[in-house]
Structures are given as structure tokens and as C-alpha cells.
Structure 1
């Protein structure tokens, strides 16, 4: 069994995607991917109205920050602007972070730090670097992690 992370929030897309673009992204999210892409599954999908991209609830969503960067650079540019934030919480204590897209630029915020810009070519992150509270000084607390306090 793989590691599970839950995602809450969404990314706004302007102008909204067409019906064909929405359908394409849904099929893309249902397709297993091979080498050269961030991971096997992309669990970001567009809503029916085409104005939002959100997590589709799929299991074991690895490299979600690279996937949203990939979708923006390969399918949404030029022509669409993506903005929004998604909070992520993994199975382990302290595994909380925020994925932020501002005018198509992807960053990750965790424990008071910001990483980015993120692209699909960003080197793989060290396992647990965003999530593991032991990786951070005591005074660097994620605003997303209500279970951890400073000092």
C-alpha cells in the first residue's frame, strides 16, 4: 500500500476551460502515465464548468505540485491563468503543507518556508522534506499544522 495524502481547496482557471478541455483533463486524470512524467497518476481534474481544477479524490497522489505545474505548462498555457491554494495533509503527524499557484507560478509552503517555483522538471524532493517536523527548526511552524507548536 502507498502513502495517502488528502487535499482540500482548488485552483481557479480563467478564462474557464472549454467543454473539450474539461473532458480531456478528466481523461488525462483517469490514465496511468509512464516514464518522463511526475508520477503514474495525475489526480487533478477540472470541474464541469471549467473554472476550477481540484483533487479528484484518487489514492496515492504523488508529486501533486509537479503535476499542476505540468498541466499549466503543457495544457493551459497560453490562454489560461491559474490561481489558488490547496492544503495537503498526509498520514503522518506533521505532514501538512500548502500548494499555491499564483498567476501560473507553482510554489509549496510548509513550516514557514516557501519552495519554488516548481516545474515538472524540479528535482525530486527529499522524502519528507515538506512534511517531517524533525526537518525544521523549532521556531518554524507550519500554519497548517495545528498539532505542532513552536519551542
Structure 2
């Protein structure tokens, strides 16, 4: 299950990473990015993060000492939802062997790779005083699913609008008010939103034509909403069951 994209090439920094930065980015990519309770993490040793002078961040987004609660998992709020601002559960971009650039770690099922690269630039590379340039080619499982990522002076110029892609990837999906109210009622009735077919059957039986039409025309958006939440008029509905 899932879809794998492979990458060839690397992005290069204008100078090598310090050892502490190199090690932190490795640990960041090795840990599942899960929403955590920062009050529990407040006194937890996290040497790799502390070495680069990062706070825990919202939802523990910078925490990397996963070994600390691997067995108890007491700090995990949601195993299947990333911290605020992060586009997915796994970041597969890592430093190359000598810390002079960023490359794919070879891991399968790397989703939101453009968004993750933008995140690394915004949160680590640029704030740490580095400039990233380079070109990486990607190839998906389908023969015609291919392209390239070009970075010039910390800006992703190909594809365009990478900053907007990241913003979209971490924001709730906006939906019509009527659709929101319908989905909210469905979940309150005990029907898991993750089951698209059951939800479609239910809204059809209830005569919620607008919701049925929206779901049928926006399948990808619907599943994005399961991951990031649905939003209408400032209210956010988050599914209790999500899959990444």
C-alpha cells in the first residue's frame, strides 16, 4: 500500500553544517513526527535538540528524543497527526554524508516532499545562516509522474508556490458551511468520517445533496481534510480517526 517516489541529486549548502546541526537533522528525519504534550516533555532530556538551541515548539514539533518514551508513549497526543506546521509524519530529507547538502534518505512513501523541503528551509536552513541551491529529479511509480525540484538561494523556484503548498498542507481544508454541518452531524452520530463510502451512503439517505455532491467532486480534498481537519466560518472539525 502507499505510493513511492524516488529522487536523484542533491541540494547544496554554501558551507558545511556544524556537527550539532548535522546530527539534529538526522534525528529529525528518523523520528515519526507526532503531536505531543509539551508539558510532559518539559523536563525530558533531548540532547540533539538542545545542542542546536531549539525550543520544544508547538506540539513538540522539534522534539527528537523518541527513545525516551518508545515504550510508554505517554507524551504522544495523537500518533497519526503531526505537530502544528508540519506537513506529514515523516521527513525524508537528510544531510549528505559530509554535511554540505540535503538529499533524499532513500525511504519509501515520502509524501509532501516539496512542503517538507520548504519547512526545512524556513525552520532550520535559513535561520541557521545557510543558503541552499541545487536541483533534484523525482520519479514516481507511474512512468509519467516525474519532474524536478530547483532551489535558488533558499527559494524553491520549481515547482512554483512552494510556500503556498506548505501553508495549504498544514491548514484545515475549507469547505462550504452546509457540508461542514453535515459532516459534523455524521460524526456526532457515531459514523467514522474515515469511511468515505459509509459517509456518502448516510448523507444520501438523509438527503444532504450538497454534501454528497461536494464529496463526490472533491475526493482528494476530503481525505486531506481527514488528516488536517475541515474548516468553515472559523470552526474546525477534526476526524477522530486518521490515516497517513
2:130 & 2:7 partners in 1: Cα distance? 23
User: With CA pairs under 8 Å and 6+ residues apart, which has the higher RCO, 1 or 2?
Assistant: 1
Higher helix proportion (structure 1 or 2): 2
> Deviation of residue 121 (structure 1)?
3.0
Q: Deviations over 1:85-127 (max 9, x none)?
A: 1100000121001111110001334xxxxx2243563324x96
1 CA distance for matches of 2:14 and 2:95?
12
Question: Does the Cα contact within 8 Å between 1:70 and 1:119 map onto a contact in 2?
Answer: no
Bigger proportion of residues as strand = 1
Residues 119, 85 of structure 1: alpha-carbon distance in 2 compared, 3 angstrom cutoff: farther
Three-state SS of the structure 1 residue aligned to 2:88 is coil
TM-score normalised to structure 1 length: 0.73
Write out aligned runs for 1:110-121 (5 A).
Answer: 115-118=160-163, 121=166
Are the equivalent residues in 1 in contact too, given 2:29–2:90 (CA < 8 A)? yes
Runs of 4+ aligned structure 1 residues displaced above 6 Å come to none
Cα distance in 2 for partners of 1:56, 1:105 equals 21
Aligned residues: 121
Within 5 Å, which residues of 2 pair with 1:42-61? Answer: 42-61=91-110
CA contact (8 A) 2:22 2:95 kept: yes
The 3-state SS of whatever aligns with 2:168 is coil
TM (normalized to structure 2)? 0.46
**Partners in 1 of 2:2 and 2:109 — Cα distance?**
6
Structure 2 gap segments, 5+ residues each: 35-81, 170-217, 221-244
Q: Indicate yes or no: 2:171 matched with 1:122.
A: no
Q: Is the aligned partner of 1:74 residue 2:123?
A: yes
| 1:88 aligns with one of 116, 125, 138 | 138
Runs of 5+ consecutive residues of structure 1 not aligned to the other structure: 110-114, 128-151
CA distance in 2, matches of 1:105, 1:89: 22
